[in-house]
């Protein structure tokens, strides 16, 4: 009897479900620029059958406006942007950040720093070695960037990106001398803890990506896909969030704003022309969204023309 040869297929690990997020800082009401990021991240995750989470990035309590977070969440609901999972606030997650910092300190990947801005001014604010003339009562903590550290990564809108981190950024802050957690550490820890698989955000944050990948590698966290959306600029070429044009969204008349940011994402106006309310708009937008149309260049708000057939 000849034994039959049996091929046993080893089970493959199923791919992680797509999970995107929108992470506003509660420093004011949502404006058109933040709506563009919210809609872009929502569509990119949902069009893949994934989840879309919301996180309130409120580690800097000094800049937070009372009631801003609640106002932002209410605006998202009025625009039809319903999230999955529980809304988390960074201000309640200090223990997670401390554990990450302790791990980096133990392995010599982070260090205590007493340098002030004045100490580093001659080097354009870059920290390559400690220059402090005296010890601070409460120091900052920095990530140690080794000489020659270069980070290459791919962005799905901007394409191949590269940053010479030691020369362009230097040793970067993880916890500030005033006790506030730095954005770079908090966002990396939170994305890892929440299982975020893609980071879709404004192009003004593209410069942070190399630092965040360095931290992900140091903390043995997965690196998500990155996609940086075009910024909305005012007539003076300034980012909308820093402009007088950054007025709060009119939540009572959502469709014009939704149509505008849809077109700023490079999507055709006719695809959503039949929408009579935000829910219909999102249904049509999800059916017609093409990520490949997203432009790499910023959109000048004053040059944009859109129609409201509703």
Q: Could you list the active site residues?
A: 242
Angle at 6 between CA 3 and CA 12, to 5 degrees: 165
The closest alpha carbon to 267, from 288, 252, 281, 246, belongs to: 288
């Amino acid at each position: 009897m000849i034994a039959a040869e049996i091929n046993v297929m080893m089970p493959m690990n199923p791919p992680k479900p797509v999970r995107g997020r929108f992470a506003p800082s509660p420093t004011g009401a949502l404006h058109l620029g933040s709506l563009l990021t919210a809609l872009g991240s929502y569509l990119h995750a949902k069009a893949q059958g994934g989840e879309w989470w919301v996180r309130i990035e409120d580690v800097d309590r000094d800049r937070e406006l009372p009631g801003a977070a609640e106002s932002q969440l209410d605006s998202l609901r009025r625009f039809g942007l319903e999230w999955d999972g529980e809304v988390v606030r960074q201000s309640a997650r200090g223990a997670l950040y401390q554990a990450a910092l302790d791990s980096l300190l133990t392995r010599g990947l982070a260090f205590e720093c007493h340098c002030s801005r004045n100490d580093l001014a001659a080097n354009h604010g870059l920290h390559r070695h400690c220059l402090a003339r005296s010890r601070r009562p409460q120091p900052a903590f920095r990530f140690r960037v080794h000489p020659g550290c270069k980070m290459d990564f791919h962005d799905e809108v901007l394409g191949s990106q590269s940053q010479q981190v030691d020369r362009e950024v230097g040793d970067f802050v993880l916890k500030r001398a005033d006790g506030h957690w730095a954005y770079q550490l908090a966002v990396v820890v939170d994305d890892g803890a929440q299982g975020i698989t893609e980071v879709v955000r404004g192009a003004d944050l593209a410069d942070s990506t190399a630092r965040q990948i360095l931290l992900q590698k140091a903390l043995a966290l997965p690196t998500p896909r990155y996609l940086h959306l075009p910024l909305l600029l005012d007539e003076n070429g300034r980012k909308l969030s820093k402009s007088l044009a950054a007025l709060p969204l009119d939540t009572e008349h959502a469709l014009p704003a939704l149509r505008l940011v849809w077109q700023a994402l490079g999507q055709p106006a006719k695809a959503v022309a039949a929408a009579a309310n935000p829910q219909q708009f999102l249904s049509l937008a999800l059916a017609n969204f093409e990520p490949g149309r997203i432009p790499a260049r910023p959109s000048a708000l004053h040059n944009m023309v859109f129609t409201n057939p509703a």
